Amino acid sequence: MITDLKRIIDQISRDKGFDKKLLIEAIEEAVYSAANKRYGQRRDIEVRFNEEFGEIELFQFRTVVEHVEDEQTQVGLEEAKRLDPDVELNDELGSKMDNVADLGRIAAQSAKQVIIQKMKDAESNVIYEMYKDRQGDIINGIVQRFERGNMIVNLGRTDAILPKGEQMPRRSFRQGDRIRAYLLEVRQSVHEPQLILSRKSDDFLIKLFTVEVPEISEGIVKIIKACREPGARAKIAVLSTEPDVDPVGACVGMKGSRVQNVVQELQGEKIDIVPWSPDPAKYVSNALAPAQISLVIVEEDKKTMLVVVPDDQLSLAIGRGGQNVRLASHLLGWRIDVKSEDKYNSMTEEGFQSLIALPGIDNQSAEKLYDSGFASARDIAESTADELCEILVDYDEEKAVVLISAANKFLAEQEAVNDAVDDKSTEQADDSSTAEKQEPDQPVLEGEAAVGQTETEVDDNSQDGNG
């Protein structure tokens, strides 16, 4: 007989934080499963935990009959009367089985497995309840071990996993090191890790600044958005809700102490702190700093902007491998195209504009064509489909033929407009010539007036000369 379970249940419940009812249900289910394996499925068996005596009791229910044909489901009236004098035929009689401890090795092993599984389920629920409200927080732990590149972090009560894809590129942690990470996900699962950590998440950067900068936790400074290329560079846009508080200065801290603490935690990742602005042109200028900006052309409906910089500022604005402009684009949520002043001036030429005027050609495609020697729509019209497909990789022969046709149509329309302008100019010139040749209505009077005026002018000149 399984005895002293009450003490064991109380201890497990206290140490693991389990609900005692769940443990009792697990034990009852385990013994029931073992009894079914031992005595077969046909018996009507019930398992109960006697809390007073701290033991498991096993009962079987059988139908009272006069002649027993099946001992597993039936009991004779005479035997039933010995158990309960008031019993009658066809009653369901429950009797306690005294051989709970004699369920057999296989049945006992089955019971053990059920109990273990139930305990795992219960522990999973406890962990989930403990951490579900902490999702999005920074977690401290100790590096336990590495499994296939994943880092297992001991949090005390349980382990968490820092997947390989959520680790910084330059891993410098070893077994036993303390580590801080962002609690990315909390799962309610038994068969897979419940707590998923990250050190690459943009939110990890935001949380680190929230911890280091009191003005952020107090709501005086707000982080609008952050974006990272982990281990290399990050940008964070900030806004102050009070005019006398500089959001950038608050994040930098005295002698850069606050931002340096974040940089150190991120293993040297460079961080640009950008003042947020509701004006996209001003915002992108801040985001691309320290590069100087000459001109910003904003297309609100397409969420795109063209940024023009001095020729010597182009590499600074774009950054190594396009990193600076790429992060700025993520920060704004806009597509940013950076051009030098020389490139922009060439783009404003009439030939380049005729390329953009063609249907299906955007700025990027027009630039590819322009750089490949197609300086105008006329060059497109005179090209072949194969030539266009080599430059525009997303084009097939059919699209290329359509583009050539569109270029011819565009040129025809332009020539028609030019011819109309020429005809109008010629017509105006003819009208002017006819007006000059037409005889005046009163030639004599006008002639006399003209002669008189000329003489007066001469006399005046003479007088001036004499004077």
- Determine the pLDDT at residue 112: 66
Task: Tell me what pLDDT residue 431 has.
Answer: 57
Query: What six digits make up the tokens of 77?
Result: 């009236």
Q: Is the per-residue pLDDT at 253 higher than 80?
A: yes
- Sequence ranges of the chain with CATH classification 3.30.300.20: 216-274, 277-343
Check if CATH label 3.40.50.970 holds for domain 216-274: no
Q: Yes or no: say if 42 and 72 are a contact pair by the CB < 8 Å rule.
A: yes
Residue range 277-343, CATH number: 3.30.300.20
Query: In this structure, are residues 328 and 296 in contact, taking their beta carbons and an 8 Å threshold?
Result: no
Q: 3-class SS at 2?
A: coil
Superfamily of structural domain 5-127: NusA, N-terminal domain (3.30.1480.10)
pLDDT at 111 over 70: no
Q: Where in the chain is the domain with CATH 3.30.1480.10?
A: 5-127
User: Is the pLDDT confidence value at 257 over 80?
Assistant: yes
| Start and end residues for every CATH 1.10.150.20 domain found in the chain | 350-413
Both tokens of residue 379? 């060059």
d(CA 397, CA 386): 7
Dihedral, CA of residue 109, residue 115, residue 121 and residue 123, to nearest 10: -120
Q: Does the pTM exceed 0.75? A: no
Q: Span 441-451, mean pLDDT?
A: 40
Tokens, residue 416: 């028609």
Distance CA 336, CA 329 (A): 6
What is the CATH topology of the domain spanning 135-200? OB fold (Dihydrolipoamide Acetyltransferase, E2P) (2.40.50)
pLDDT, tens digit (0-9, with 9 covering 90-100), for 396-412 = 888 878 888 887 887 78
Query: Could you give the CA distance from residue 285 to residue 292 in angstroms, rounded to a whole number?
Result: 8
Question: Does the domain formed by 350-413 have CATH 3.90.1150.10?
Answer: no
Reply yes or no on whether the pLDDT at 238 is more than 80: yes
Least confident of 154-168, 242-256, 259-273, 441-455: 441-455
CATH 2.40.50.140 placement within the chain? 135-200
